[in-house]
Amino acid sequence: MGLDNGIVVRTKEQSQVFGWIQKTVFGASAEPTLVNDESGYKYEYDITYWRKCYGIRSFIFSVYRRNHPDDKIDDRYSYNLTTDDIKDIQWFLHHCVMSEQYYNDQTNSIWEYKDLRPVLEYQVRSLEILIQEIAKQGNNIKVIFYDSY
Other Cβ atoms within 10 Å of 9 Cβ, number:
26
Q: What is the pLDDT of residue 116?
A: 94
- Determine the Cα angle at 50 with ends 140 and 120, to 5°: 85
Higher pLDDT, 113 or 72: 113
DSSP three-state, residue 123:
helix
Whether the pLDDT of residue 149 is over 70: the answer is no
Percentage with pLDDT > 90 across the chain: 79
Mean pLDDT of all residues in 112-125: 95
Q: Residue 120: count other Cβ atoms within 10 Å of its Cβ.
A: 24
Angle, in degrees to the nearest 10, between helices 83-98 and 54-67: 150
30-40 confidence digits (pLDDT tens): 999 999 888 89
> Of 1-10, 28-37, 139-148, which gets the smallest average pLDDT?
1-10
Whether 1 shows a pLDDT value over 80: the answer reads no
Give the contacts of 62 (CB within 8 A, at least 6 positions apart): none
pLDDT at 2: 55
Share of the chain above pLDDT 70, in %: 97
Query: What integer pLDDT is reported at residue 72 of this predicted model?
Result: 77
Mean pLDDT value across residues 95-123: 95
Q: Is the pLDDT of residue 113 over 50?
A: yes
Q: Is the pLDDT of residue 128 over 60?
A: yes
Task: Give pairs for 96-102: CB < 8 Å, separation 24+.
Answer: 96/56, 96/120, 97/121, 97/124
Decide which of 72 and 144 is more confident.
144
Q: What is the mean pLDDT of residues 76-93?
A: 95
3-state class of 95 per DSSP?
Answer: helix
- In order, the DSSP letters of 17-52 are HHHHHHHHHH---SSPEE---TTS--EEEEEEEEES
